[in-house]
Structure 1
Amino acid sequence: MSGIIAGNSRSEQQLFELLKTIPDENILCFLSTESGDETLSGLPVLPYEEGILLYRSGKVDHFYITPGEKLKADATAYTFLRLGVAESDIWYVSQDYDITPFFERRELSYLEYQVADNCNMNCSSCSHYSNLIKGNVLSDYESTRNGFLKLKKYVDNICLIRVLGGEPLLNPDLDKYIAMNREIFPYSRIEIVTNGILVRSMPDHLIRSIKDNGIVMNISFYPAMKEKMAEVTAHLDSLNIPYFVSPMINEFCKVTDPSGSQNSADSFKKCTWRYCTMLRDDRLGLCAFSFLTKYFNEYYKEFHLPESGSFSLNDPDLTSEKIMRRLNTPIEFCSYCKQPGDPCEWKHGPAGSGIPRDIIIDQP
């Protein structure tokens, strides 16, 4: 048996050391999308295209996919399937090195959920439509906890959990949410994605929970925070809270097409958010649009976007495999989503306001 390991990060190197101990398993190479080392652990590092050619020639039987440092397992598998690799020849290796057929795995690479739908930045082209919301719209803790417990029946681990908004620091119970995440999924990396405005005013109980539960602050750097970001990071340094700051976000992308004229399969293939799985109460969705289009519909009465795209974790026929397949299938909204989107300059405004040309494609 001859295999290829997709990726060339540290986790793939560790996988290679494990596979060397399996009789009759012969690993030919690693695959990489980036130029760099030509060899790794004594094996060649090849472009993905060459790996596919080896498979088509019969020199390779199967591929191994790990979550990897960039959490691209789903995207990699989708690419392999699209290029003709048989589903039975794609194997997933979890963070604890459990090897299973890709769609039978019990590990999600990524999950996000919102604890506040509204925001205090109100970016004019917000892809979550947070700028269209007036007032506080906060999640319900017990409903969210119940959703995570139900998900745990089908998923043993989530590599990365991101707590989002809107602005998550607007939720006064955020400390309870992150403690709950750590309790139910103890091995996940957990990040709070924030614009940084409220970081310096975080209450003591939230700071304790962040530190006790090993949370990382993921700061989206918008131009409005240019003069204040140094103070934000200095405050986190003083608290010994780990964080990272994105590059300055000067540009957004508009994707919303109320006409529904986009090719759904093509949009799904090109989408940068197609594996941004979202949990909301006891429902799971392919992305945020599975849940948040209602805010667009409430604000723009003359347009209507589908409010479908999620499925219930209460379905008695649900299995781990069905979840993985649903999350690799386009939803109705894909026909209303232009990918790649139209770039537009970042700006922000008052809460509960939106100009069509800032959110909808092809608007004058």
Structure 2
Amino acid sequence: MNVAVISWGREGKAVYDLLSRNKQYKVVCVVEENSEKWNDEECAPWIVSSGRAVCMFEEGKIEYFIVPSMAEAQNYRVIKMLEVYHINIDNLLYASAESLWNTTLSDEERISMINSYKLCNELDAMEIHVAEHCNLNCKNCSMFCGLVKKEAYPDYNEFEKGIILLKKYFQHVKIFRIIGGEPLLNKDLDKYIYKIRDIYPYTDIRLISNGILVKQMSDKLIKAVKECHVTFIVTQYAALKGSIDEIKMFLVEKGITNIVTEVVTEFQKIYNASGNSNIDENFYRCHWKGSCATMYGTQIATCFVPFVIHYLSDQFNLGILETGKIDLEENGLTTQEIRRRMHTPFDLCRYCAPKGDWVTWERIKNKKEMALVDWSI
């Protein structure tokens, strides 16, 4: 069977190496749009553009395209590219993360996992909030952390139950983000990290923090972050101006893989509290859906809004109803049904403003003087 492998990155190379040891598939080319990789001496077959690969497909030289399990943005671009060229989804195969990285299996077992793209049961991204409140309290925070009136943490047992259920529907999550509020406020954070790594051995775990408590991290948390290969991401705010270098050095000295973002200078107001936005229009132009899929206990949603909007509603007596949640314990639920719902507009979209106003970042100075305009356009 003549196939083209999509991408000459780490995942594409893993697919090629696997198939080169088996006669079932013949890799006739690698499709790679980044021309800088075309000089890679490790690439035994041709590296061609997507346009050339499509011509080869039309000439009958390629029967299938194999899409490896890649990061969310890469995977999205690949599928959109093939759609532009009118490649039927029946001509797409998917190499799962398990087939790429589970070296305890034989080549034959791993190759047998390469299946129709339509049967893909991997999820691009998932987020969990391990704390609702925050020690920074930014005005216009999309999670409404400044409106949380007391310490609020998820129930670990419910989280454990939820992630086990999630595995039932999605065998792999490409990126798993641990966020908040401020996640370092949760004294049991190490338990969440170990459980995510146990359930999803190949996921890219990212811990997103404002950095204030980094140097107070416990030894058990540092151990969990390192053992589970977590990438620690510090979102740099102006409030860290006198300590960001020390924070960075602390992470480096502890051997923690880390990224420090550029300084956050603006926040975007993404809400329209009047609720008169066009639901369909908002949903289809929203760049958070899917990439910000969120899990609370045994429920998930295509974004975080269904789980946090009540803070805004309660603070300003808006009476907003929470919609858009999917209960993983629902009878008869399937992977395909979850995907369908996560790609379907829901009522809460009327309260969003994806093209909302940009405002200068600042902290809440006085919680008693907060106004709806601080969160809504």
Instruction: Give the shorter-chain TM-score range.
Output: 0.7 to 0.9
> 2:227 corresponds to which residue?
212
| CA RMSD, Structure 1 to Structure 2 (Å) | 3.1
- Of 279, 287, 307, the residue aligned with 2:322 is 307
Deviates most, 338-347 or 280-289: 338-347
Query: How many correspondences in the alignment?
Result: 357
Check whether the contact 1:200–1:235 (CA below 8 A) recurs between aligned residues: yes
- In structure 1, the gaps of 5 or more residues are none
Q: Cα–Cα, structure 1 residues 256 and 212, in superposed 2: closer, same or farther, change >3 Å?
A: same
Q: Cα–Cα, structure 1 residues 258 and 110, in superposed 2: closer, same or farther, change >3 Å?
A: same
Distance, in Å, in 2 between the alignment partners of 1:147 and 1:72 is 27
Distance, in Å, in 2 between the alignment partners of 1:355 and 1:8 is 51
Q: Cα–Cα, structure 1 residues 289 and 54, in superposed 2: closer, same or farther, change >3 Å?
A: farther
Q: 2:148 matched to 1:133?
A: yes
> 2:15 corresponds to which residue?
15
SS at 2:362's partner residue? coil
Q: 2:66 matched to 1:67?
A: no
Check whether the contact 2:131–2:180 (CA below 8 A) recurs between aligned residues: yes
> 2:304 corresponds to which residue?
288
Distance, in Å, in 2 between the alignment partners of 1:80 and 1:338 is 30
SS at 2:289's partner residue? coil
Deviates most, 211-220 or 271-280: 211-220
Distance, in Å, in 2 between the alignment partners of 1:254 and 1:55 is 47
- In structure 2, the gaps of 5 or more residues are 100-112
Q: Which has the higher strand share?
A: 1
Determine what percentage of the aligned residue pairs are the same residue. Answer: 27
SS at 1:294's partner residue? helix
Q: Deviations over 1:179-232 (max 9, x none)?
A: 222222233222221000011112233223323333321111112112211111
Distance, in Å, in 2 between the alignment partners of 1:300 and 1:320 is 37
Higher RCO (CA 8 Å, separation ≥ 6 residues): 1
Check whether the contact 2:8–2:30 (CA below 8 A) recurs between aligned residues: no
Distance, in Å, in 1 between the alignment partners of 2:194 and 2:65 is 37
> 1:46 corresponds to which residue?
49
- Of 183, 187, 207, the residue aligned with 2:198 is 183
- Of 90, 115, 119, the residue aligned with 1:100 is 115
Q: Which has the higher helix share?
A: 2
Q: 2:294 matched to 1:278?
A: yes
Q: How far apart are residue 38 of structure 1 and its match?
A: 4.9
SS at 2:169's partner residue? coil
Q: Which amino acid aligns with 2:98?
A: D
- TM superposition score normalised by structure 2: 0.82
Distance, in Å, in 1 between the alignment partners of 2:54 and 2:370 is 49
Q: How far apart are residue 257 of structure 1 and its match?
A: 2.0
Q: Deviations over 1:59-91 (max 9, x none)?
A: 666543333245543565467558855443443
Check whether the contact 1:113–1:278 (CA below 8 A) recurs between aligned residues: yes
Q: Which amino acid aligns with 2:195?
A: M
Larger radius of gyration: 2
Deviates most, 82-91 or 332-341: 82-91
Q: Cα–Cα, structure 1 residues 70 and 285, in superposed 2: closer, same or farther, change >3 Å?
A: closer
